[in-house]
Amino acid sequence: MKKNTFSIDSYIADATARAEQRFSGFGGDDYYADGNMPQDIQFSGNDQFFFGAAGAEQAEAAVSPSPYQVVFDNTLGAVAATAVLFGLNRWLLTPNFGSSVGLVITPAQTNVTYLELLQQSGSEPFETSLIRIQTSNPVQLTQIITVTSKDANGQQADIPIITQSYFSANQFQPSILDIPYNLKVNSNVWLTWVVLPATYMSITLFPKNKVNTSRPLAGLGALKNYGSPAVSIGIPTVAVRPLVTGAMTRQQ
């Protein structure tokens, strides 16, 4: 008789893989790459328009996306700060929306508040095609960004974006970094990273698609797709690492 065995390593690996598939399509993979929706989150009835009502979708020319841009200014002097971006359900009623008090968060668009952006991320979730970071301190570009997705049932997944792996030999601007990344943002997803002391940085997110539930009123699907960003980006090659002097060098 074959003896049944249990491997804790295999169990954890399988659970992690399932969590990464379930939460927001981490890693840039298509959440529904196999054409099937997970059984436990299938929609029915009128909810089908979330993915475009059958027969009602009209052909639309892909337009260049209008990005969301948020500026983070660390005013804490010699102290590093924790930045939190999005996560409506988790951070709405917390001081500074989860970020360190003293970290000033301002959308680049002068007629928009961060609260408006946070609220909209819950009602109009979107997926990015490109994330751009610009900073006054080039070392800031090496800070890992953690993507967290937490469901109300208690399940949580934390996935790091290793920013250094996106440095490109074709891009010679030391204070800017482009990250082609398919990040799905909704009210349960947020980004966390460290903002270095006395550092000013901005993060720009270019939508690949966005949900707008009023579009079905015009006979369109709720999902609006966008073309490629109208920006020049370098091609990611190999990771870089900081030297003792703080300079950057390419790994051999």
Q: Tell me whether strands 68-74 and 200-211 are parallel, antiparallel or unpaired.
A: antiparallel
* First and final C-alpha spacing in the chain: 53
Higher pLDDT, 60 or 163: 163
pLDDT of residue 36: 42
- Residue 145 in tokens: 């960004």
> Do residues 208 and 67 lie in contact, with contact meaning Cβ atoms separated by under 8 Å?
no
Give the model's pLDDT for residue 120: 96
* Closest to 248 in 3D by CA, of 187, 166, 181, 189: 166
Mean pLDDT, residues 48-73 taken together: 66
Neighbours of 149 (CB within 10 A): 23
**What is the per-residue pLDDT across 146-198, written as a single tens digit (0 to 9) for each?**
999 999 999 999 999 999 999 987 777 889 999 999 999 999 999 999 999 99
- Note if the pTM is more than 0.85: no
**Alpha-carbon distance values, 194 to 74, 92, 199, 224 (Å):** 10, 20, 10, 32
Q: What is the mean pLDDT of residues 99-126?
A: 97
Task: Report whether pLDDT(70) > 90.
Answer: yes
Pair 199, 193: CB distance under 8 Å? no
Mean pLDDT on 72-97: 98
